[in-house]
Amino acid sequence: MPYAVKRTGFYALVVLIVLFSIFPFYYAILTSLKSGTALFRVNYLPVDFSLANYEGVLTNGVFPTNILNSVIVAVVVVAISLFLAVTAAYALSRINFAGRGLLLLTILAVSMFPQIAVLAGLFEMVRWAGVYNTLFSLIFAYMIFTLPFTVWVLTTFMRDLPIEIEEAAIVDGASPFTIVMRVFLPLMWPALVTTGLLAFIAAWNEFLFALTFVSNNSTRTVPVAIALLSGASEQEIPWGTIMAASVIVTIPLIVLVLIFQRKIISGLTAGGVKG
Amino acid sequence: MANVQAGVPPTDKALDVEREGPRPRSDLSRQRLRSAWLFLAPMLLVLALVAGWPLVKTIWFSLTNASLSDLEGAEFVGLRNYWEYVDYGDGEGEYFGLLFDPQWWNAVYNTVYYSVISVAIETVLGLVFALVLNAEFKGRAFVRAAVLIPWAIPTIVSAKMWAWMMNDQFGILNDMLMTLGIISSPVAWTASPDTAMWAVIIVDVWKTTPFMALLILAGLQMVPGDVYEAAKIDGIHPVKVFWKVTLPLIRPAILVAVIFRALDALRVFDLIYVLTPNNTQTKSMSVFAQENLFQFDKFAYGSAASTLLFLVIAFITLFYIKIARLDLGGRGN
């Protein structure tokens, strides 16, 4: 095959991959900018530029509250799991103790848990603790997937740091807690940003727990709110509004992912944890 | 959790680390040991509360007659939710329970079908994406960024976006396929029994191929460049190099990616629940369990379904840990 043909073929494949990846989201943006009956004409290029759907979703109803709920839950979940994971990862990566391998194995096993397996038990617990229909139930429940993941990735990261950085502090008689806070934490910002971001995305996107533990419209998080957006009647699905809401909750994620692209890729592959 | 923990022998490496233990300990190492457990305690407590205890309770509920309105009054009924023979007398009787429920087996079939097909397509496509991203060309950074976008989009949003694109009357997918002459009349992708499962698979492939591609790409980048140079000098055809050199070298990376994806696919819930609600053709094991737990007021029965799904996934996880021979001992200090 001549070189030019091969090259054209390769670039055609590249274009195909890019189109396949971005077209659906492009089309969602395009739909969200349509209004009225324009919605029901198929267009491949933007023809309309109406912000009515955005105005509708942000001013009517509880969607802004839903966004706030999602932000609160995701931020608190990330903060708690990073705090618990940093000290745990230090113990798991830098201190030799009996049962360490088994412990790591258990943590890995928990990260593979199907959420449905704990749903019944968690539901009982949530009701018993009186946090049904509150954001506390979600903050607590989300630990099941963010905590094992953050511990696992931070342990991998800390294990690869050279021993010398700790030696001086040990000789100076620093306590383990001081070592974690003063020696390791400053070195760990890249890993913390990556794991924090991945945990944030996981918490932001979660659906099953959010659907089960909250039944009040104004306490819901964004994914459930979007899934339940409906029109005046069964037949009247408000596609324009749904697309506007979808674009609003997705744009921040895409921006974050594009900014931290490299970090996310290394975090995903180093941790080898689910997407 | 208890099952997993008890069933897994620690890897050889981890055992080595533990055997190093009994050497004379100084005050310092004793202090470090104490703080190790102090550091681990909060994390372990949270995991026990959020994973261990609820799992035990779910299994317990599956052995009772619990109902959503009366969880406290649940009574032990043995394995009746899984398997029960009701004798009608005169040698006649009938089997009941999850293991004899055609709807449950339908959900099992759907889940396995969905998992096998979607993971297979994602592996092949992911490999293609990874090979493209591994080549050097202008605009590679842009393509890599574009490929990440589906991964970043929440599953619910992907489901809604595709539901709109697959809309039977106004969807762009039908318009595209009809313009290209592939179909002659509009298809109700998400509602029709023939296409509903394929709709789910298409959306899943779109969303998850990037993840697969990234894991395989990481494997590809570890293949040393001189391997390719040697093959080039020997004048070996690139296709042959791919099958004989590249593929065997990245096999472990592919295997890990496949197992991670398969575990994820087996517990699928969001996508199916939102894209094809109340459709027998796509109902997965997780959807079956959730419906019984919270919509049909068959809490104990739903718990039994959850427990069975857990057992399947636990079994595959053990298998994975065994073949991956993870480096759990680590280098440590």
Average pLDDT over residues A212-239: 85
- What are the angstrom distances between the C-alpha of B327 and each of B12, B263, B316? 9, 20, 19
Residue B225 lies inside a defined structural domain of this protein: yes
Q: Which of B5, B1, B10 is nearest to B329 (CA)?
A: B10
Interchain pair B8, A105: CB under 8 A: yes
When pLDDT is cut at 50, 70 and 90, the band that residue B332 belongs to is: very low
Picking from A10, A100, A261, the nearest residue to B148 by CB comes out as A261
Interchain pair B51, A110: CB under 8 A: yes
Least confident span in A35-44, A238-247, A252-261, B150-159:
A35-44
User: Rounded CA gap, B255 and B242, in Å?
Assistant: 17
> What does chain A come to in residues?
275
Tell me the percentage of chain A whose pLDDT exceeds 70.
95
Largest Cα separation within chain A, whole Å, is 74
Q: What is the pLDDT, as a whole number, of residue B324?
A: 63
- What are the angstrom distances between the C-alpha of A147 and each of A108, A200, B40? 10, 12, 12
Interface test with B, best of A81, A86, A103, A116 (most B CBs within 10 A): A116
Report ipTM (2 d.p.). 0.89
Cβ-contact A52, A58 below 8 angstroms? no
> Which chain A residues have a beta carbon less than 8 Å from that of B294?
212
Average pLDDT over residues B216-226: 85
Q: What is the pLDDT, as a whole number, of residue B10?
A: 37
Higher pLDDT, B333 or B324: B324
Interchain pair A118, B167: CB under 8 A: no
Picking from A118, A176, A254, the nearest residue to B149 by CB comes out as A254
What is the overall mean pLDDT for chain A? 88
Does position B305 have pLDDT exceeding 90, yes or no? Answer: yes
Residue B141 lies inside a defined structural domain of this protein: yes
Picking from B154, B172, B263, the nearest residue to A250 by CB comes out as B154
Domains of chain A from N-terminus onward: 3-50 (no CATH), 53-271 (1.10.3720.10)
> Which chain A residues have a beta carbon less than 8 Å from that of B159?
227
Structure confidence by residue, pLDDT tens digits, A235-266 = 678 889 999 999 999 998 989 888 888 877 77
Q: Determine the structural domain holding residue B160 and report its residue range.
A: 102-296
* Strand ranges inside chain B, DSSP E: 84-89, 92-96
Interchain pair A100, B206: CB under 8 A: no
Interchain pair A119, B56: CB under 8 A: no
Interchain pair A110, B47: CB under 8 A: yes
Residue B111 lies inside a defined structural domain of this protein: yes
Picking from B214, B260, B299, the nearest residue to A274 by CB comes out as B260
Interchain pair A147, B46: CB under 8 A: yes
Nearest chain B residue to A215, by CA: B294
**Can you give the CATH number for the domain in which B258 is found?**
1.10.3720.10
Residue B233 lies inside a defined structural domain of this protein: yes
Higher pLDDT, B20 or A172: A172
Structure confidence by residue, pLDDT tens digits, A116-126 = 999 999 999 99
Does position B20 have pLDDT exceeding 50, yes or no? Answer: no
Least confident span in A13-22, A262-271, B6-15, B62-71:
B6-15
User: Rounded CA gap, A168 and A216, in Å?
Assistant: 55
Interchain pair A177, B164: CB under 8 A: no
Residue B122 lies inside a defined structural domain of this protein: yes
How far the first Cα of chain A sits from its last, in Å, is 39
Residue B59 lies inside a defined structural domain of this protein: no
> Which chain A residues have a beta carbon less than 8 Å from that of B310?
113-114, 116-117
When pLDDT is cut at 50, 70 and 90, the band that residue B104 belongs to is: very high
Does position A216 have pLDDT exceeding 70, yes or no? Answer: yes
> Which chain A residues have a beta carbon less than 8 Å from that of B149?
21-22, 25, 254, 257
Q: Which residues contact A97 (CB under 8 A, 6 or more apart)?
A: A91, B21, B33, B36, B37
Residue B312 lies inside a defined structural domain of this protein: no
Q: What is the pLDDT, as a whole number, of residue B21?
A: 45
B98–chain A nearest CA distance, Å? 16
Residue B200 lies inside a defined structural domain of this protein: yes
Does position B43 have pLDDT exceeding 90, yes or no? Answer: yes
Residue type at A168?
Answer: A
Interchain pair A250, B1: CB under 8 A: no
Which residue pairs, CB below 8 angstroms and at least 24 apart, start in B249-255?
A: B249/B219, B249/B223, B250/B216, B250/B219, B250/B220, B250/B223, B252/B219, B253/B215, B253/B216, B253/B218, B253/B219, B253/B220, B253/B222, B254/B123, B254/B127, B254/B216, B254/B219, B255/B323, B255/B324
What is the overall mean pLDDT for chain B? 84
The answer to whether the Cα torsion of B126, B131, B135, B137 is positive or negative is negative
Picking from A40, A101, A224, the nearest residue to B329 by CB comes out as A101
Does position A68 have pLDDT exceeding 80, yes or no? Answer: yes
Chain Cα centroid distance, residue B313 = 8
Average pLDDT over residues A57-65: 88
**Helix, strand, or coil (residue B94):** strand
When pLDDT is cut at 50, 70 and 90, the band that residue A162 belongs to is: confident
Q: What is the pLDDT, as a whole number, of residue B9?
A: 37
Interchain pair A117, B310: CB under 8 A: yes
Interchain pair B170, A39: CB under 8 A: yes
Structure confidence by residue, pLDDT tens digits, B58-101 = 999 999 998 888 888 888 988 989 988 888 888 888 888 889 99
Nearest chain B residue to A28, by CA: B161
Average pLDDT over residues B155-180: 92
Picking from B164, B290, B294, the nearest residue to A243 by CB comes out as B164
* Total structural domains within chain B: 1
When pLDDT is cut at 50, 70 and 90, the band that residue A231 belongs to is: low
Does position A180 have pLDDT exceeding 70, yes or no? Answer: yes
Q: Which of A130, A145, A3 is nearest to B51 (CA)?
A: A145
User: Rounded CA gap, B119 and B261, in Å?
Assistant: 7
Interchain pair A105, B328: CB under 8 A: yes
Average pLDDT over residues B17-24: 46
Nearest chain B residue to A238, by CA: B164
Nearest chain A residue to B316, by CA: A112
Q: Are strands B84-89 and B92-96 parallel, antiparallel or unpaired?
A: antiparallel
> Which chain B residues have a beta carbon less than 8 Å from that of A97?
21, 33, 36-37
A20–chain B nearest CA distance, Å? 8
User: Rounded CA gap, B35 and B151, in Å?
Assistant: 39
Q: What is the pLDDT, as a whole number, of residue B13?
A: 40
Picking from B147, B218, B289, the nearest residue to A21 by CB comes out as B147
Average pLDDT over residues A164-176: 82
